[in-house]
Structure 1
Amino acid sequence: MATATHDDIDVLAKAKRALPHDYTPSDQDEYMSDAQLNYFRVLLLEWKKSIVAASEGTLQSLQDGPIRDPDPNDRASSETDWGIELRTRDRQRKLIAKIDSAMRRIDEGEYGWCEKTGEPIGINRLIARPIATMTVEAQAAHERREKISRDN
């Protein structure tokens, strides 16, 4: 299973803290009820908002930073830092696309259901990874197939 980075986890945790605390989905609720769908819609929007806010800070720091450091070591260090930031932002850009896809699935009534098996993904998995598209079992099988094809 693809692992989330610490940054992604922190941003998701921040988004969860921004949610109203009057409702948390549970297994006792009807699966993908209006209340659950609304919870995930708000969570996804907050998550996206947090990512966009973080990326705006990165853009500002890149614009404010020196273009050329006279010392080669300082320049190499700056370029490494910028490269890491840009890779992080690229990963977050892809995450935003997955969030948008999850929002579309909510609108189309497909959210919470495995795209491979049609089974419920499960509330706990969706709380942990709101952009999940497969059950844990289907995801594990997908990753095994991916690893085998990559090894060939």
Structure 2
Amino acid sequence: MPAQTATPAPAARGGRVSRLSQLTVPSMPQSVASTAAKSTFSQSHSNALVPPPPLAIKKDPKLANNWKTKSPAELSDAEVIAMPDDEYMNEKQMAFFRLKLEELKRGILENAGETTEHLREDTVVVPDPADRATIEEEHALELRTRDRERKLLKKIEQSIQRIDAGDYGYCDETGEPIGVGRLLARPTATLSLEAQQRRELKQKMFGD
């Protein structure tokens, strides 16, 4: 009976799988890493607190001119997305995002005040060790959450300063527009999604 030869596995379509597998190799050249990052751009996601926006944003043409007759406070997210590209970061958009940032800031400050009240109310000594451990764990979790929000508060204040300087909405690395969709999902973003992907890949590979 003739010996059977193993059938070679089919090559990955378009070489995408092989490039993805190389992402975990620390010795991969940086130029290859950049190419791999761009090829997997549509499949990657950021690990930041706020999830990245959808890559494809549908504009409703019926809403394209609503911004002309509404104040920044009256505009919806869909109406801002529908604004023409040549109106990117005009005065009304800047004012709209300032309101978004100020609303986030108020929410964080209110949460901080509530945490202080909770800690003050729970100062009574609980005799049961299990109950005391549960309360301490809840306090630790709440304090960790407030610490993350404290860092976010600093980014919010920096973003408001960028609006005042006229730099808001543009990537720190490339100078290109960050995009309305990304800013709606992450108002404190300072990098375009592609630049953020490159930075995260570099940090993963080199530990910077």
Instruction: Report the TM-score when normalising by structure 2.
Output: 0.62
Greater share of helix residues, 1 or 2? Answer: 1
From 73, 77, 101, give the equivalent of 1:20.
Answer: 73
1:93 corresponds in structure 2 to 150
Q: Give the residue type in structure 1 aligned to 2:189.
A: A
Whole-angstrom CA distance in 1 between matches of 2:136 and 2:151: 22
Q: 2:203 aligns with which of 134, 146, 150?
A: 146
Residue identity in the other structure for 1:4: L
> Residue 28 of structure 1 aligns to which amino acid in structure 2?
P
Q: Mind listing any 5+ residue stretches in structure 1 that lack a counterpart?
A: 7-18
**Is 1:76 the equivalent of 2:133?**
yes
Aligned residues: 139
The alpha-carbon deviation at position 94 of structure 1 amounts to: 0.5
Equivalences for residues 1-152 of structure 1 within 5 A: 1-4=46-49, 20-22=73-75, 24-26=79-81, 27-28=83-84, 30-150=87-207
What is the CA distance between 1:72 and its match in structure 2?
1.6
Secondary structure of 1:21's counterpart equals: coil
Question: Whose radius of gyration is greater, 1 or 2?
Answer: 2
Report what 1:13 is aligned to: none
* Aligned-partner residue type, residue 51 of structure 1: I
Equivalent position SS for 2:88 = coil
Q: Equivalents in 2 of 1:5, 1:69: separation in Å?
A: 37
- TM-score calculated relative to the size of structure 1: 0.84
Q: Deviation of residue 51 (structure 1)?
A: 1.2
Q: What is the one-letter code of the residue matched to 1:21?
A: E
CA distance in 1, matches of 2:145, 2:74: 30
Distance 1:5 1:145 in 2: 21
- The AA in structure 2 aligned to 1:25 is V
Cα distance per residue 1:4-29 (max 9 Å; x no partner): 269xxxxxxxxxxxx83345423415
Percent of residue pairs identical: 41
CA distance in 1, matches of 2:190, 2:182: 10
Deviation at 1:149, TM superposition (A): 2.0
What root-mean-square deviation, in Å, do the aligned CA atoms of Structure 1 and Structure 2 show? Answer: 1.9
Cα distance in structure 1, aligned partners of 2:142 and 2:80: 34
Q: Distance in 2 between matches of 1:57 and 1:83?
A: 15
| Cα distance, 1:31–1:46 mapped onto 2, change above 3 Å | same
Corresponding residue for 1:14? none
Tell me, which stretches of 5 or more residues in structure 2 are unaligned?
A: 1-45, 52-71
Which digits, 9 at most, give the CA deviation of each residue in 1:12-47, with x for residues without a partner? Answer: xxxxxxx83345423415111000000001110011
